[in-house]
Amino acid sequence: MKIRVLVSFLALVFLNQSSFATVYNLPATKHETVVSEYPNEIAVTRADQNETLLDVARRFSLGQVEIIRLNQELDRWLIKKDQVITLPNKRILPDSPHDGITLNIAEYRMYFYPENGSKVYSFAHGVGRQDWKTPLGKTSVQKKVKDPVWRPPESIRREHAANGDPLPEVVPAGIHNPLGAYALYLNLPGDYRIHGTDIDKIFGIGMQITHGCVRMYPEDIDQLYHLVSEGTPVYIVKQPIKVGWLDNVLYVESHPDLEGEETTLDQRLSSAIALIEKANNNELPEFNQTALKEALEKQNGNPTAIYERVISPEEEAAEALAAQEKPAIPVIPPVKTIAPVEKKLVVKAPKIATKTKGNVTKKSAISAKVKAVKSIVKPATKPASTGYYHG
């Protein structure tokens, strides 16, 4: 297998309208797991008034941590008029079955795969804080409830009372109910739910802030509620580092540790190398080491290209034929009609000339630097960042 350094050309896509869940087309090739709205482009928006990054996150249904990590050079509390804010475009799908719902609590992000579909829906969500962790594993949607009534456990009532915010034994449905207007009850001990939120906690989406439940924006849980059915499988994983292919390019995506957890750069390198080997048929090619290290240090959640695979014309023709022969699969539409999104302005940036290195061979061409990393940090026997097990 020959590998060459990736040359990428980017353009900017200016978005000026909020939306509900982001809906991606699944890649035509089965082994590819990177999805994007705008191929080879960066999505951005421009502030039309002074605001905060939290306001921008709310407008585009993004999580708070997500947008802050993507814009680390900006002041989260003061975005001035006409400032450009980076938005997510590409995402690496979690390492889990493309069936039902996957919650990756490490990125505060949910993925819903409609049955027999060719698309995936992506939503922001909040998760359990350090002392009320969201459990990992496989479960399912036990029941769906509209306008749920909340009966807070005694432990939560004591906590609120100690903070001067006493709770009643029963919180009726309404705008101040923390469960919001819809709830999906999970088949887990402890009354865990995927639910909406009230107007008092609207800016807590995409944070480690709940008592173990999964909290979503009101419009997002509304949409998801009408997409899923009782019995839908739910996979709860913790994958802060993800690796995936798209168009023969390998990407890595890195997210910060959750509260109460702390990994070193060496540990993240070990996990990333194990995932790269796994994605590349257990072979470690020569990749862009600078790009990998920067992604693992920044942890901004933005997929970073680290190398490109060169395939023969025969292999390329075979893959193209396989893609053409793949039958079309109908997509399950949402029950609720979603308001149309205004036309988006695409601004193309000039191409940037980049030098490329010559082709290299298999493991024999692994650089001395990668060997040094492996000698210091032993890769885990399996990727330490998957956080997924078959229940």
CATH number of the domain bearing residue 197: 2.40.440.10
User: Would you say residue 138 has pLDDT above 60?
Assistant: yes
pLDDT at residue 345, rounded to an integer: 38
Give pLDDT tens digits for 215-236.
Answer: 889 999 999 999 999 999 999 9
| Residue span of the structural domain in which 268 resides | 2-9+242-325+346-376
Give pLDDT tens digits for 166-186.
Answer: 666 677 777 777 788 899 999
**Rounded Cα gap, residues 380 and 271, in angstroms:** 7
User: Would you say residue 317 has pLDDT above 50?
Assistant: yes
Residues 356, 265 share a domain: yes
Residues 283, 167 share a domain: no
List the helix and strand counts (H, then E) for the chain: 8, 21
pLDDT at residue 384, rounded to an integer: 39
In a domain, 22, yes or no: no
pLDDT above 90 as % of the chain? 43
Of the three residues 202, 233, 264, the one that is the final residue of a domain is: 233
User: Which residue did the predictor score with more confidence, 14 or 93?
Assistant: 93
pLDDT at residue 323, rounded to an integer: 52
pLDDT above 70 as % of the chain? 66
User: Would you say residue 309 has pLDDT above 70?
Assistant: yes
Average pLDDT over residues 231-254: 95
User: Would you say residue 95 has pLDDT above 90?
Assistant: yes
User: Would you say residue 76 has pLDDT above 80?
Assistant: yes
Within 116-213, residue ranges assigned H as helices are 154-162
Residues 6+ positions from 147 with CB-CB distance below 8 Å = 173, 181
* Number of independent structural domains in the chain: 2
CB 349, CB 84: distance < 8 Å: no
In a domain, 299, yes or no: yes
Structure token pair of residue 222: 């509304």
As a whole number, the mean pLDDT across the chain is 76
In a domain, 138, yes or no: yes
Would you state the torsion angle of the CA atoms of residues 204, 205, 209, 215, taken in this order, to the nearest 10 degrees?
A: 120
Q: What are the φ and ψ backbone dihedral angles of 162, each rounded to 5 degrees?
A: -65, -25
User: Would you say residue 103 has pLDDT above 60?
Assistant: yes
Of the three residues 203, 233, 263, the one that is the final residue of a domain is: 233
Provide the pairing of β-strand 137-146 with 182-186: antiparallel
